[in-house]
A and B are shown apart, each in its own frame.
Chain A
Amino acid sequence: MISFQLNGEDTQVDVDAAKPILWVLREDLKKIGAKFGCGAGICGACTIQLDGFAIRSCITPISAAEGKRITTIEGLKDNLGQKIKDSWNDIQVGQCGYCQTGQVMACHAIMQQNAAITTEQVCQQLNNICRCGTYSRMKKAIANIIEQRND
């Protein structure tokens, strides 16, 4: 039995301790927001947060979540999260959208760590893959959020 908080709710799963968090979320907990893209921790489509830090859930075993807080896109409800989603929606960043939950979770984690972070710094750190190439809009959306933060 592995126990953790999922989006604020106490959760327990009875699975192989080595099962990656991504597949526990998708198969056992029916949370489909985190996506599978590479299985090697490279593309970032599976990005969620563990105790507020971005992790690639396709290579992180569920045992690592014991006693911790998991946040997925379904539970991203704080002020910063809403700002990011609003900016993303405003700029219309997504095309197929498949990578975007991971992008938002990663962006949120990056911005959360540093209240004074610049757009350039966020863009240097946010290396999740988007095959549709929405990068130029992501950059604009990020710049808008940073601007708001600084207001």
Chain B
Amino acid sequence: MDRRSFLHISSASIAVLAIGCKAEEQQKTGTDIPQAQDTAQPDVEEAVGTTLNNWVEIYTDNKVEVYISKAEMGQGISTGLAMVVADELNAKWEDIKVSLVGEMDQHYFSNAGIPVTFGSTSTKTQYAQLRFVAAAARQMLEEAAANQWGVDPSEVSSANSQVLHPDHGSLDYGELVEQAALLPVPELPTLKTAEEFTIIGTERKRIEHEAVLEGKVVYGIDADVPNMLYASVRKSPVFGGEVLNFSALSHPEAEAIVQIPNGIAVVATSWWKANQIVQSLAVEFSTPAELMGVTDESIMENLLNSLDESGEIAHSEGDAESGLAQAATTYDAIYKVPYLAHAPLEPVTATAWVQADRCEVWAPTQAAMSIRTAAQEITGLDTEKITVHATYLGGGFGRKGESDYAEQAILISQQVGTPVKLIWNRPEDLQQDFYRPIFCAHLVGGFDADGKLTTWYGKSVGSSVLLQQGASFAIDPTSVEGFDALPYEFDNEYAEHVSIESPIPLGFWRSVGHSQNTFFVECFMDELAELMNKDPLDFRRELLPNTSRALAILERLETMSNWGNPPAGRHHGISFSKAYSSFIAQVAEISFDEANKQVTIHKFYCVADCGLVINPNGLRAQIEGGISFGLSAAMNEKITIQDGAVQQSNFHDYKVLTLPSAPEIEVELIQGSSSPGGVGELAVGPSIPALVNAIYAASGIRIRSLPISEALA
């Protein structure tokens, strides 16, 4: 069949609404949303206009193309959002294809937060809008068929990319698309009810999965542009250092050696050659005086001393000071965590081609628009002359939301005048990262004479990613998420945060503040439970009396893990977290070799309530992956700094989790809300205290400083 791709289903605009306030409010209090109540109809809130073709195109051969503007970095968002569109559109799943586009301009819903893939917000922030788009298209196709049959639109239905009528048979979407394109776009399309879902909530395979295993998926690192040269870079190992001897640098096999901020790039006809050269050159870097003598240990010492400083109040309920003064028993502990690197397996890379009148960039990115902005600034070109191709990512974890590597590629191409593919070698990737900040926290609990935990006091010290980026507010919310406003019910709850300026570049590491705060909170909860001789699960349950979604997952987890009755030789540890509008609890099942102080992580049990489940397979995968990511960090990961430079250089000294050490993971999902919550980062934070708490159960060793391998050494 002739595929005429220029036929679109209308260019007129429609209004799309974001998920309403009411659904979010219910998520915050954690109160039950009865399954029968269909909150799949988002509340009327801020409506913005968009055009159908920006998001979905229906072709005369019945193929449906869905534009995905969120970055596909393994969280399965391209499949998930395509499922949302396909369901509402009543399209045949097998005819759906996805195209990745950079999130900006026509591929950005302005009522969907910022144009970045971050914070486990992708489903939450595009779910409703995409449903409106798809519903509009569906209605127009149904109307077109009704017109053709001379019947009222109410008499037709649609399924599997066909419009149906009991007496007139069926018409394919592909046959209707020309006529549908001429119809007025419905102002406020009618959404399906949850009972009518045929794709949302069903197990679907990742659209790209087969192609991945054939080596056919094109990641950022695979970009191929004719006449492309290759570049490898080297920045000052001491942060902020400058190249001192640039004019002395040369190499016969280099096509070019160019300057980049704080470093150099070598360009050659092969990346291997460019990299060999850049690593061999005798580059002299300056050593900023303020960074000499700065180590991760000196930084941590400074943080610990700053626990005595006054910070900003992140949360205050009741009167914690009185609560502690009047407590029958008080208990406190200090916890510490190190700098962490992202280390996505595809190192940062970008391919750029700067010409006099245009600029094209291919990059694995969580923030395509920031790359375009950088290209504007560097080249002076207008946005219409700049194209950013957002590719598949070989892992992101927050690292690929930065535009530094794309900026380098643009600068290099601008100087050499050809397309240039820049790939960072692994040492560069580890040493020029934007790190998860080093943190410490002091926690104090106060019990009354009956043994009830009445008062919770927490003070953390760390550095702010957002403040380093130039934002200005009293507290960076990402520093205290999971530390302030805990889901537990205390009479008095207080959280304070001291923010220290960081000499080290900081960035958003998968789960951000939760990555350290869940460790602090959930380990301290266990220590408090033990003080009162309470079972850790019961202890938490008693402090969550009104959060039915939390109680539901704890109950399910208790049974599922056979909590408290691990197999012989094994021990359990538990954690709970409320984050990203979702609820999660985990049990780690481990064994401990006393003689060698070796931990074997046998299994993880997890129950999660992420609200509306789009793709259960994808959701479970994100939880499994998040647990692995957290365990990897907890067991072995630590970035050390010496004289203002990162000491680690590859996976031999920045050890990440591998299969021989990885646990079995069992996940159950409870759908406690009909709005989707976030999951991409949800499982990371709580995996760490579950493990640490299990190690205590097994060994009597309290670990308050990570990584575990260091604490046990």
Q: Which residues of A contact B (CB under 8 A)?
A: 15-16, 19-20, 23, 26-27, 30-40, 42-43, 45, 72-74, 85, 88-89, 92, 94-101, 104, 123-124, 126-139
Contact = CB atoms under 8 A, between A and B. Distances in A.
Contacts of B172: none
B270 A89 contact: no
Contacts of B658: 127-130, 135
B297 interface: no
A27 B271 contact: yes
A37 B74 contact: no
> Which 9 pairs between the two chains have the least Cβ-Cβ distance?
A133-B628, A33-B215, A96-B74, A98-B394, A135-B662, A95-B74, A97-B212, A73-B215, A23-B272
Contacts of A34: 215
B344 A92 contact: no
A31 B627 CA distance: 33
A87 B652 CA distance: 31
Contacts of B73: 96
B665 interface: yes
B659 A131 contact: no
Interface string B340-369: 000111110000000000000000000000
B651 A27 contact: no
A32 B650 contact: no
B75 interface: yes
A101 B426 contact: no
Contacts of A104: 213
Interface string B183-226: 00000000000000000000001101110111111110110100
Nearest to A45: B345
B525 to A, nearest CB: 25
B659 A138 contact: yes
A131 B656 contact: yes
Contacts of A127: 658-660
Contacts of A45: 345
B678 interface: no
B330 interface: no
Interface string B418-434: 00000101100000000
A124 to B, nearest CB: 5
Nearest to B220: A98
Contact of A40 (B206, B222, B652): B652
A83 to B, nearest CB: 12
Given A43-B345, A100-B212, A35 B659 contact: no
Given A73-B213, A98-B219, 19 more contacts: A23-B270, A27-B270, A33-B215, A37-B426, A72-B215, A92-B206, A94-B213, A95-B621, A96-B346, A97-B212, A98-B345, A101-B213, A126-B659, A127-B658, A127-B660, A132-B395, A133-B625, A134-B625, A137-B624
A20 B625 contact: no
Interface string B445-483: 000000000000000000000000000000000000000
8 contacts: A16-B273, A32-B224, A37-B347, A38-B651, A95-B74, A98-B345, A130-B658, A135-B628
Nearest to A140: B664
A97 to B, nearest CB: 4
A100 B215 CA distance: 9
Contacts of A26: 222
Nearest to A135: B662
A39 B210 contact: no
Nearest to B659: A135
B393 A101 contact: no
Contact of A123 (B224, B631, B656, B660): B660
A34 to B, nearest CB: 8
Interface of B: 72-76, 205-206, 208-210, 212-219, 221-222, 224, 230, 270-273, 275, 343-347, 392-397, 423, 425-426, 617, 621-622, 624-629, 631-632, 650-652, 656-660, 662-665
Contact of A139 (B230, B393, B622, B664): B664
B676 to A, nearest CB: 19
Contacts of B394: 35, 96-99
A136 B346 contact: no
A133 B657 contact: yes
Nearest to B211: A97
A38 B423 CA distance: 11
Contacts of B659: 123, 126-128, 130, 135, 138-139
B241 to A, nearest CB: 23
Nearest to B205: A92
A97 B346 contact: no
Nearest to B275: A39
A136 B662 contact: yes
A65 to B, nearest CB: 15
Contacts of A137: 621, 624
Contact of A73 (B214, B219, B423, B629): B214
Nearest to B204: A92
Q: Which residue of B72, B212, B218 has the most chain A CB atoms within 10 A of its CB atom? A: B212
B395 A42 contact: no
Contact of B205 (A23, A37, A89, A96): A89
Contacts of B651: 38, 40, 42-43, 129
A131 B397 contact: yes
Contacts of B213: 73, 85, 88-89, 94, 97, 100-101, 104
A131 B345 contact: yes
A37 B346 contact: yes
A38 B74 contact: no
A86 B164 CA distance: 36
Nearest to B203: A92
Nearest to B222: A32
Given A35-B221, A40-B652, A104-B213, A95 B75 contact: yes
A19 B273 CA distance: 8
B270 to A, nearest CB: 6
A100 B213 CA distance: 7
A23 B275 CA distance: 12
B345 A130 contact: yes
Contacts of A97: 74, 208-209, 212-213, 217, 392, 394
Contact of B345 (A85, A99, A136, A139): A99
Contacts of A27: 230, 270-271
